[in-house]
A and B are shown apart, each in its own frame.
Chain A
Amino acid sequence: MRQPLPRWVDVALLPLLNVVLAFLIGGLIVMSVGQNPLQAVGIMLYGAFGYGSGFGYTLYYTTDFIFAGLAVSLAFHAGLFNIGPEGQAYVGGLGVILAALAVNGLHWAFAVPLMILAGAAFGAFWAFIPGYLQAKRGSHVVITTILFNFIATSMMGYLIARVLKPAGINSDESSPIQMITRVPQLKDFFGLFNHSPVNITFFLAIIALGLVYWLIWHTKFGFALRALGHNPAAANYAGISNEKMIMIIMAMAGAMAAMVAVNNVGGVQGRLILNFVNGAGFVGIAVAFMGKAHPIGVALSALLFGALYQGGQELAFSMPGITREMIVTIQALVILFTGAMGDMLRIPLEKVWARFAPPAGAK
């Protein structure tokens, strides 16, 4: 007889096993090209956590992934699959750079809030359009957000190369933001992070995690959002405007994704460069699924992916046989096992549980 699994198995053990499975298969792939996966893990762990700079990089990546993961998670709770954080972050970069260049030279304490707002507005706008098309015209956000990623790439490519690029610079990028205006890096305050790009956006990400948790489970808006996600007809019955909700939630997701731009454009690079998002938006999808769209899960899986990206960098130096792309493979496996095949282990687990756990009602 099938018995429901205890909650902790459902929310923690099952996802964990899926992640382990993804890594095991990743390990097999590494082995198949004649490399030692354990050695690789050791190098990656050292690279990600073993020394200050490495840890700083890990946190820098984690920051990006938290924002992108939240952008996917927020929409996911409303039943929307947002594949567009990549493009939303990219367009958000336009807002960040325009705000920063407009006040270039201003102290960061005043400039950064402006960058956050402007980036959020641009990112929100870019996600709002698919939201609007879904709400009012019934076009599926899955498809439209994918298409908007491509449109963002072309549009930003044009704007950077033809509009924002100042005379006298050869590579395709905008004018730089002055140091005083840039998002300050943590190494300025903590020597530990010498040379790493982690900046105060990291704290913004932590705040965002808490904010999203509060929003989804402790507000009226969150209640409406979850009702919509589980059952749109019931949400309509409950007097919730599904159309408005979809547009608002998509805009919020886009704003969240745009924080990736604050981290990179406003902080690390200090200028708008081509394709600065560099896949972080897509990692957000894996992060959201692995973290079951819960802020705590998102935080943990963002940290895991941050460590993978930084450790992978280290790996490329120490083990030339393994490229960084192995991380993309792991990312794919994580999405596959936690997102698309999340229930594969459920039935075996239920069987194990039925055998070893005390029968229900025994206590």
Chain B
Amino acid sequence: MQFLTDVTLILDSTIRLAVPLILACLAGLYSERAGIVDIGLEGKLLAAAFAAAAASAVFGNAWWGLLAGIGAALMFSAIHGIASINLKGNQTISGVALNFLAAGLTTFLGQSWFHRGGYTPQLQPEQRFTPITLPFADQVKDVPVLGEIYWELISGHNLITYFAFLAVPVTAWVLFRTRFGLRLRAVGENPKAIDTAGISVTALRYQALIITAVLVGIGGTYLSIAQSAGFNNNMSAGRGYIALAALIFAKWRPGPALLVCLMFGFLDAVQLRVQGFKFPYIGEVPVQAIQVLPYILTIILLAGFIGRAIAPKASGIPYTKER
């Protein structure tokens, strides 16, 4: 039974760790499907985390935090959009700039506003998104196996977690069953086809960037006011990049994106638990070896050793009417 509990606990923390990845990954999916490479996910995630924690601390309400998180991500997306859609600049460069901007601004403003060395004030429960208990979870938690799974794995997460898992099928539906999805996929593959059909490429790409901002904004909010009780320096810690890697790994499809994010979350969860643990025969596995696994797996995929990841054809290329 101890083994089952261990597994359940690891899976539970897998879910917790996967949530920001899922949200950031879906965010990237909208943007890249529309033809905008989003290296700046990391920065958007970080900016949102900071804004959410700051707003929640000041206004004393998690929902204000969520709003501020989304707002910050929207502002970052707006800069990204102006640079890469209107001014037709290099999307990667503006993304990189956004990452630095977030790293610099969050610390600078955090220190200027709160004077806690970049940390935001510790948040109270009502300023956070706290776990909610699903119906009957209390009653069935002592039922072996199934009850335990329901109590531990399915119930007891915060709202954002449920939202993240819901966002996956919704994204798949939007992408493949709606007019917007059709156009979104088209503008990332061949924007000229969209333009000649009389639809604004600019508007479509901005719409995609807005959705991206909302999702990544919620992801950042999760980091600072759901998973933690406040913001600390560089708390996104590369999750934006991991989400990008997951997106590539999932070949820009929502279903696989969920699986890959769960896998990366699982690696993260395992890494936290095996620290100092001596495996039979192998001995101690260095934490770093597990940390780098997502990156190495992505590189192997990118190198085409396990299938090919083909990006939307027009991604990374600003659209210009040719003459």
Are A and B close enough to touch in the complex, i.e. CB under 8 Å?
yes
Interface size class of A (residues with CB under 8 A): 35 or more
Is B111 an interface position by the 8 A CB rule?
yes
Please tell me if the beta carbons of A323 and B304 are within 8 angstroms of each other in the complex: no
DSSP majority for the B interface?
helix
| Mask of A263-285 contacts with B, CB within 8 angstroms, 1/0 | 00000000000000000001001
Please tell me if the beta carbons of A139 and B288 are within 8 angstroms of each other in the complex: no
- Cα A325 to Cα B305 with chains together (Å): 41
Q: Of residues B87, B92, B112, B296, which shows the largest number of chain A Cβ atoms within 10 Å of its Cβ?
A: B112
Q: How many residues of chain B get a CB closer than 8 Å to chain A's CBs?
A: 48
Quick one: closest A residue to B94, CB to CB?
A340
- Cα A333 to Cα B101 with chains together (Å): 7
Please tell me if the beta carbons of A157 and B101 are within 8 angstroms of each other in the complex: no
| Mask of B224-255 contacts with A, CB within 8 angstroms, 1/0 | 00000000000000100100110010000000
Residues of B within 8 A of A336 (CB): 79, 83, 93-94, 97-98, 101
Selected contact of A285 from candidates B87, B96, B286, B292, CB within 8 Å: B96
Partner-A contacts on B (CB < 8 A): 39, 79, 82-84, 87-94, 96-105, 107-109, 111-113, 118, 238, 241, 244-245, 248, 286, 288-289, 291-292, 295-296, 298-299, 302-305
Partner-B contacts on A (CB < 8 A): 29, 33-35, 81, 83, 133, 137-140, 142-144, 146-148, 150-151, 154-155, 157-158, 162, 282, 285-286, 289, 321-323, 325-333, 335-336, 339-344
Residues of A within 8 A of B100 (CB): 282, 286, 328-329, 331-332, 335
B299 to A: closest C-beta gap in Å: 6
- A147-B299, A154-B288, A158-B288 known; 20 new pairs, CB 8 Å cut-off, are A33-B113, A139-B303, A142-B39, A142-B92, A143-B245, A143-B298, A147-B295, A154-B292, A158-B289, A282-B100, A322-B108, A323-B107, A325-B103, A325-B107, A329-B105, A332-B99, A335-B96, A335-B100, A341-B82, A341-B87
Residues of A within 8 A of B98 (CB): 332, 336
A85 to B: closest C-beta gap in Å: 12
Residues of B within 8 A of A83 (CB): 96
Quick one: closest A residue to B242, CB to CB?
A150
Please tell me if the beta carbons of A137 and B79 are within 8 angstroms of each other in the complex: no
- Cα A326 to Cα B295 with chains together (Å): 30
Please tell me if the beta carbons of A157 and B111 are within 8 angstroms of each other in the complex: no
DSSP majority for the A interface?
helix
Please tell me if the beta carbons of A154 and B291 are within 8 angstroms of each other in the complex: yes
